[in-house]
Amino acid sequence: MEVSVSLPGHELVSAGLADLAAGRETESALLVAMAARRLRALGFDVPPREGGSPDHRLYELLSESGPNAHSRYNALVRQMVSFARAAEHASSR
């Protein structure tokens, strides 16, 4: 399934899918990896990710890049939840 540009957070998910496919460890790739099960259930082709827990690694990455890692982590998770809910709603029509 392609990421619809009408869904909130589509840029983040599109970037995360591309980064995962390319083997890059980015904020968006780790976020998509965290939501992989839910996204796959919606029909998205989420590439597998090697390594440890993506949620812990995302937090570490955010901590390395500056202050407010906790707030930024929560904001990213909220964006993913919003995307997934909108995608679920769109698929139920």
Cα–Cα distance for residue pair 30/34, rounded to 1 Å: 6
**Whether the predicted pLDDT of 1 surpasses 80:** no
pLDDT average, residue stretch 6-18? 93
- The reported pLDDT for the residue numbered 26 is 96
pLDDT average, residue stretch 4-31? 93
Residue in 92, 62, 88, 67 with CA at minimum distance from that of residue 77: 62
- The reported pLDDT for the residue numbered 6 is 84
